[in-house]
């Protein structure tokens, strides 16, 4: 009887220890499986993001090639149009011709800036721009448009830190596009404000208007081609701006919008 009791206790202890070991093995295997699943999910997310970035890079590269071809093709035609407008004799239609002359001059300026930017990229030109210089360029490029619309145009701050000319050129193009949209959305007597900031390892630029805001149904699709909140708009400006921003480690997003105005924010990462 004593031997049987000892055997029973020994058997129970053995079974208990064995069960505990098996439970430990099962629990450890479960957590290892969960960890492996989490790692696989993270890698899948990184792969999806990498594929998305590659797709955007390919689109931006194609956009650059098309733009380069388009700009060089337009140079001669616009120069000829400008010569015709400039040589027009004064007459009853003079105000219309003055307007046309203003448009051709603006188009020529845009073409020159774009061709210069493309040339800098192709030849790897090396120069730097500070945040203050960028702010001055943005002010100079857009002040005339704002004054013509009767909109107050304010550019604030800037920063001492520099960035290379290619990134600076693209930033100016993106910011100017946001500013032009804001001026178009703001009624005469309103205000458009551009604010430059440098914070730690990134720089940010906000563009704020005093328009009527962006419709709720359009907000999720702002950066998709063909989506525009302006009558007659192509819906390409913000989509192209986002593509260009990604080429310089930057992002463009809608910061806020409502009946009293809209703010877009451009953030340039890895900036010191």
Phi and psi, residue 257, nearest 5°: -155, 150
Nearest Cα to 192, choosing from 181, 200, 203, 183? 183
CA dist., res. 223 & res. 236, Å (int): 8
CA dist., res. 215 & res. 228, Å (int): 10
CA dist., res. 251 & res. 133, Å (int): 21
Nearest Cα to 56, choosing from 223, 272, 185, 254? 223
Residue 208's SS3 state is strand
CA dist., res. 22 & res. 123, Å (int): 67
Q: Burial letters for 214-242: b for 16+ Cβ neighbours within 10 Å, e otherwise?
A: beeeeeeebbeeebbbeeeeebebbbbbb
CA dist., res. 84 & res. 82, Å (int): 5
pLDDT score recorded for residue 36: 87
Question: How many helices (H) and strands (E) would you count in the chain?
Answer: 5, 7
CA dist., res. 221 & res. 239, Å (int): 10
Element (DSSP H or E) covering residue 24: helix 2-86
What is this structure's pTM? Answer: 0.58
**Pairing between β-strand 152-157 and β-strand 191-199 as defined by DSSP bridges:** parallel
Residue pLDDT tens, the chain, 272 long: 677 677 777 777 787 887 788 888 888 888 888 888 888 888 877 777 666 555 555 555 545 555 554 555 555 556 666 666 666 665 555 555 555 565 566 566 665 666 555 555 554 455 678 888 889 989 998 999 999 999 999 999 888 888 877 788 888 888 988 998 899 999 999 999 999 998 878 889 999 999 999 989 888 888 876 555 565 455 567 877 887 788 788 999 999 999 999 999 999 886 65
237: left (phi over 0), alpha (psi -120 to 50) or beta: alpha
Phi and psi, residue 203, nearest 5°: -115, 150
CA dist., res. 205 & res. 255, Å (int): 11
């Amino acid at each position: 009887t004593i031997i049987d009791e000892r055997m029973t206790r020994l058997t129970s202890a053995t079974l208990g220890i064995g069960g505990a070991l098996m439970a430990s093995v099962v629990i450890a295997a479960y957590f290892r499986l969960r960890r492996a699943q989490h790692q696989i999910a993270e890698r899948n997310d990184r792969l999806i993001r990498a594929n998305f970035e590659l797709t955007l890079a390919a689109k931006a590269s194609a956009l650059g090639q098309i733009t380069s071809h388009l700009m060089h093709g337009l140079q001669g035609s616009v120069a000829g149009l400008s010569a015709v407008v400039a040589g027009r004799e004064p007459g009853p239609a003079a105000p219309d011709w003055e307007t046309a002359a203003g448009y051709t001059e603006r188009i020529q300026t845009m073409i020159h800036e774009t061709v210069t930017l493309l040339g800098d990229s192709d030849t790897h030109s090396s120069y730097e721009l500070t945040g203050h210089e960028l702010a001055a360029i943005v002010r100079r490029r857009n002040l005339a448009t704002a004054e013509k619309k009767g909109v107050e145009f304010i550019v604030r701050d800037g920063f001492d830190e520099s960035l290379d000319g290619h990134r600076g050129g693209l930033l100016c193009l993106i910011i100017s596009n946001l500013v032009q949209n804001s001026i178009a959305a703001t009624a005469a007597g309103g205000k458009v404000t551009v604010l430059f900031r440098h914070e730690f390892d990134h720089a940010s630029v906000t563009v704020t208007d005093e328009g009527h805001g962006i419709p709720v149904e359009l907000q999720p699709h702002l950066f998709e081609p063909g989506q525009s909140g302006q009558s007659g708009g192509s819906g390409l400006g913000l989509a192209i701006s986002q593509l260009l921003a990604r080429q310089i480690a930057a992002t463009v997003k809608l910061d806020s919008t409502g009946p009293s105005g809209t703010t877009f924010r451009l953030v340039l990462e890895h900036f010191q």
